[in-house]
């Protein structure tokens, strides 16, 4: 139990897209250690949090040895006395366009990095939520599109995506093994495609690229054809699911977090053009290895055991993301120069 009035919470990948939103939510009643190496995250995502007295950034690769008690910037957290109460493990490179560049780091994060975080959880008896991915189910099948947590899925571990897809499966195995051997309160969130403010620009993530190009009246590029479909869940809903999962029973097992609605990405692009009153056109390009149609989640388990469903409608989520990008457009584009 914490020795002070606030919990110490470690968020790995806390400067990333989902991680920064999670930190923002948790900081209201906890002390947050954000660990990130900025491989795909950004300081701009946590700019306001850096001024908060209960927030501290540790710039480090999660695959390197982690000794929180030795870091002078964490002295006020009194980790040697209070320890760490909760760990949200979100660190993992996710970059469709730079996937080849991060292959070795992805492999390390899903193995050595996962072990480092589990060792921390075992040391401090921390509750842990590991951010896994829908890729553990493998690609969408013609005769099966919706997957529940009891479905095994099929992943070809020898493909160019193996370091991520099979890596996420191995990381889940590590979480479950530590839970069995050390009695950890460790849960697994299988996160499906998520969108919202702070998603990285010009990196192959279609929603932010659609919006920024629409605002500039440039072509919206779909990496695939007009049949590309996907689910899209707004980031605030995913964050709510992660927090609810942290409070759930330790034996809950993996839980899907995502939208079960199947959307044609071309229709989403058209909607963004309409909402931004843009003159942009939609064009098609070759698919990216990391940006492919994925299966849809069954979210009945999250509904029944967490009381969680996605609440933000696509129209509202797109409007919030458009408003953010309009307000920060010059800063976002300057950060890419």
Catalytic residues: 164
Q: How far apart are CA 13 and CA 39, in angstroms?
A: 9
Q: How far apart are CA 166 and CA 70, in angstroms?
A: 34
Q: How far is CA 266 from CA 74, 197, 230, 240, in A?
A: 47, 20, 10, 28
Q: How far is CA 201 from CA 196, 208, 256, 323, in A?
A: 12, 6, 26, 15
Q: What is the largest CA-CA distance in the chain?
A: 59
Please give the DSSP secondary-structure letter assigned to residue 64. S
Among 194, 168, 208, 202, CA closest to 98: 202
The encoded tokens of residue 325 equal 């990008």
Mapped onto helix, strand or coil, the DSSP state of residue 182 is helix
Among 76, 38, 24, 57, CA closest to 196: 24
Q: How far is CA 26 from CA 54, 92, 240, in A?
A: 10, 20, 10
Q: How far is CA 108 from CA 155, 156, 167, 307, in A?
A: 19, 19, 9, 34
């Amino acid at each position: 139990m914490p020795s002070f009035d606030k919990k110490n919470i470690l968020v790995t990948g806390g400067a990333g897209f989902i991680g920064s939103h999670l930190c923002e939510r948790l900081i209201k009643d906890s002390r947050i250690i954000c660990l990130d190496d900025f491989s795909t995250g950004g300081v701009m995502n946590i700019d306001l949090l850096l001024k908060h007295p209960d927030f501290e950034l540790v710039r480090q690769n999660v695959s390197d040895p982690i000794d929180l008690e030795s870091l002078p910037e964490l002295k006020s957290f009194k980790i040697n006395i209070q320890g760490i109460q909760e760990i949200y493990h979100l660190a993992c490179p996710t970059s469709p366009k730079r996937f080849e560049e991060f292959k070795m780091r992805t492999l390390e994060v899903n193995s050595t990095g996962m072990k480092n975080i589990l060792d921390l959880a075992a040391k401090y008896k921390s509750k842990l939520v590991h951010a896994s991915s829908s890729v553990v189910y493998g690609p969408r099948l013609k005769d099966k599109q919706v997957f529940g947590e009891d479905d095994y899925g099929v992943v070809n571990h020898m493909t160019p995506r193996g370091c991520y897809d099979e890596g996420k499966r191995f990381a889940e195995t590590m979480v479950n093994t530590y839970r069995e051997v050390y009695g950890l309160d460790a849960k697994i969130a299988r996160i499906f495609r998520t969108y919202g403010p702070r998603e990285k620009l010009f990196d192959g993530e279609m929603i932010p690229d659609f919006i920024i190009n629409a605002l500039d009246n440039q072509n919206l590029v779909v990496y695939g054809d007009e049949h590309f479909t996907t689910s899209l869940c707004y980031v605030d809903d995913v964050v709510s699911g992660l927090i609810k999962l942290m409070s759930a029973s330790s034996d809950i097992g993996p839980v899907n977090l995502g939208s079960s609605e199947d959307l044609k990405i071309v229709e989403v692009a058209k909607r963004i053009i309409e909402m931004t009153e843009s003159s942009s056109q939609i064009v098609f390009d070759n698919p990216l290895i990391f940006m492919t149609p994925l299966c849809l989640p069954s979210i009945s388990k999250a509904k029944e055991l967490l009381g969680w469903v996605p609440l933000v409608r696509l129209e509202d989520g797109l409007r919030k993301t458009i408003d953010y990008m309009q307000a920060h457009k010059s800063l976002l584009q300057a950060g890419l120069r």
